[in-house]
Structure 1
C-alpha cells in the first residue's frame, strides 16, 4: 500500500478552497459576492483564497462594471477541473482503502 495522502493536492487542504472549487465546478460562473455569501466569509479571507487558486491557474477572473460598480466573476479553468477531480478521486480512494 502506498502513501494514502500522496495523491492529494495541497492547494485543496483548505476547506475554503474546497468550497470555492465545489461551487465553481457545478456553475458556469460565480460572482465574488455570491461566493462570499455562500461560504459566509469576509472579503479579505475570500480574496486571499481566490488569489491562491488564481495563481495556480485553477480559476480565471473577469472584472466588469455594472453601472458604476465593479463586478468580479470567477470561472473554473480546465486545469482547475482536472486538478479538483483528481483530488476528489484521491480522497475517494483513500476513504475506500484502495
Structure 2
C-alpha cells in the first residue's frame, strides 16, 4: 500500500549567511513567510529584502513559493518568479541569500 500525500509538507532550507559566511539550516512545516520583518518564520536581514518578501505554501499537494509583490523579486533556479513549484534541490534566491530546498511531504496513514 502506497501512502498518499495531503496538502501539507515540510521543507529543510539550507543557506549561507552572506554577512558571516556561516551555514544555516532550518526545517519548517508549510505555510511560512520569509522576509526581513521579525514576524516571518525566516528572517533574512538585508535592505534588498522586503518586510514580507515571499511565502512558501502547499497548493494542490505541491510545495510552492509565492512572491509577495516584493520590491526586488524572488527567483527559483535563476528565473524570476511570482509563483513557482518547489522540488528537491531547487535554489530560491531572495536578495543576497540563496536557499537550497529539501522537500519532505506528509503522508496520510
TM-score, L = length of structure 2: 0.26
* Higher RCO (CA 8 Å, separation ≥ 6 residues): 1
Q: Rg larger in 1 or in 2?
A: 1
